[in-house]
C-alpha cells in the first residue's frame, strides 16, 4: 500500500508554518497528500500553502490561530469533517527556558495547554474516524528533553515526557485498528524556536540537526516503531543518559550543560 493510500488523502499539520511543521508539510506534499495547515503565522502559512499547492499539485486549506482557542479548533473541525483525514501531525509547541520559579506560572500553564491539552483534544476529536476506517497515522513531536529531567526546561521536558509515553501507549492501543502512531524525539534542531532561545556553543555540545532529516526519520518510522530519535549521535546520547548512567548522574549532567548553554555558568 502506498503512503497516500495508507495515510491520505488528507493530512492535518498543527504548527505548520515554520521549522519542523513546515518541513512536515513539504515532505507530505511531496508524497502527494493534501494538507489542512494550522499555525499562528498567517503570512508564512499562506505563502507555504500556495507554494506547496503550485509545486506538487495538491490541495491546501489553512487556519490561522492558536489551536488552544475553541474557535480555532472548530474552524479546523469544519474543514476536517469535509475530507477524509488519514494523518495527524501535532507539531504545535511552546518551550519555557529558565529557572522554574523565575518564570510566571501562567507561562508554565500555557506550555501545558499547547503541548498537552490541545494535543489530546485534537487526537480525541479526529482519530475516531480513522479507527472506524481501519487505517491512518499520528505523528507526535516529543524531545530528547523528555527522556529525563532537564533543568531550565522543566515544564517543557515534562510535557515532552508525557508526549513520548502517550504516543508509545497509543501505538499499542491503536495498531490493532490499523492506526499507526509514532513519537519523534529530536535532539537540538535548527528551528526558529531553538534559535530564539540563543543557546551558547559549549564543549561537547550536540550537533544541531537540520529539519529535513528529522522529519524524514519520523515519517520513515511511522508504522514501524512507536518512537524514533533522529540522528546517530542523538541516539547514542539518549541511550547514555536515559539507560546507562544512574538517573541522578544523568540529570546532574543535563543540568550542568543547560546552565552552561543558557545561563553562562
Active site amino acids: 156, 160
Q: Mapping DSSP to helix (H, G, I), strand (E, B) and coil, where does residue 211 land?
A: helix
Give the angle 114-141-133 at the CA atoms, nearest 5°: 95
Euclidean distance between CA atoms 215 and 26, whole angstroms: 10
Question: Phi/psi of residue 183, each to 5°?
Answer: -100, 125
Residue 47 DSSP code = H
DSSP classification of residue 233: H
First to last CA, the chain: 53
Distance CA 165, CA 121 (A): 16
User: Which residues of the chain form beta strands (DSSP E)?
Assistant: 10-14, 34-39, 60-64, 85-90, 136-141, 179-184, 227-228
Amino acid at each position: 500500500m502506498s503512503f497516500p493510500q495508507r495515510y491520505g488523502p488528507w493530512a492535518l499539520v498543527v504548527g505548520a508554518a515554520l521549522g519542523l511543521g513546515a518541513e512536515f508539510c513539504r515532505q507530505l506534499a511531496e508524497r502527494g497528500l493534501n494538507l489542512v495547515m494550522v499555525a499562528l503565522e498567517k503570512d508564512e502559512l499562506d505563502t507555504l500553502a500556495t507554494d506547496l499547492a503550485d509545486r506538487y499539485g495538491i490541495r491546501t486549506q489553512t487556519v490561522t490561530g492558536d489551536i488552544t482557542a475553541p474557535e480555532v479548533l472548530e474552524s479546523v473541525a469544519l474543514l476536517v469533517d469535509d475530507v477524509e483525514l488519514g494523518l495527524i501531525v501535532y507539531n504545535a509547541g511552546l518551550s519555557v527556558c529558565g529557572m522554574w520559579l523565575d518564570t510566571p506560572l501562567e507561562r508554565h500553564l500555557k506550555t501545558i495547554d499547547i503541548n498537552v491539552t490541545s494535543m489530546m483534544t485534537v487526537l480525541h476529536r479526529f482519530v475516531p474516524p480513522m479507527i472506524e476506517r481501519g487505517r491512518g497515522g499520528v505523528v507526535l513531536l516529543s524531545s530528547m528533553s523528555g527522556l529525563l529531567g532537564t533543568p531550565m526546561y522543566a515544564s517543557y521536558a515534562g510535557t515532552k515526557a508525557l508526549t513520548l509515553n502517550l504516543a508509545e501507549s497509543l501505538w499499542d492501543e491503536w495498531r490493532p485498528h490499523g492506526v499507526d502512531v509514532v513519537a519523534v524525539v529530536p535532539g537540538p534542531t535548527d528551528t526558529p524556536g531553538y534559535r530564539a532561545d540563543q543557546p551558547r556553543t559549549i564543549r561537547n555540545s550536540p550537533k544541531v540537526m537540520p529539519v529535513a532529516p528529522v522529519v524524514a526519520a519520523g515519517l520513515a518510522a511511522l508504522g514501524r516503531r512507536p518512537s524514533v530519535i533522529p540522528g546517530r549521535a542523538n541516539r547514542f546520547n539518549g541511550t547514555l543518559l536515559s539507560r546507562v548512567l544512574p538517573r541522578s548522574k544523568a540529570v546532574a549532567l543535563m543540568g550542568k550543560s543547560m546552565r552552561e548553554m543558557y545561563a553562562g555558568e
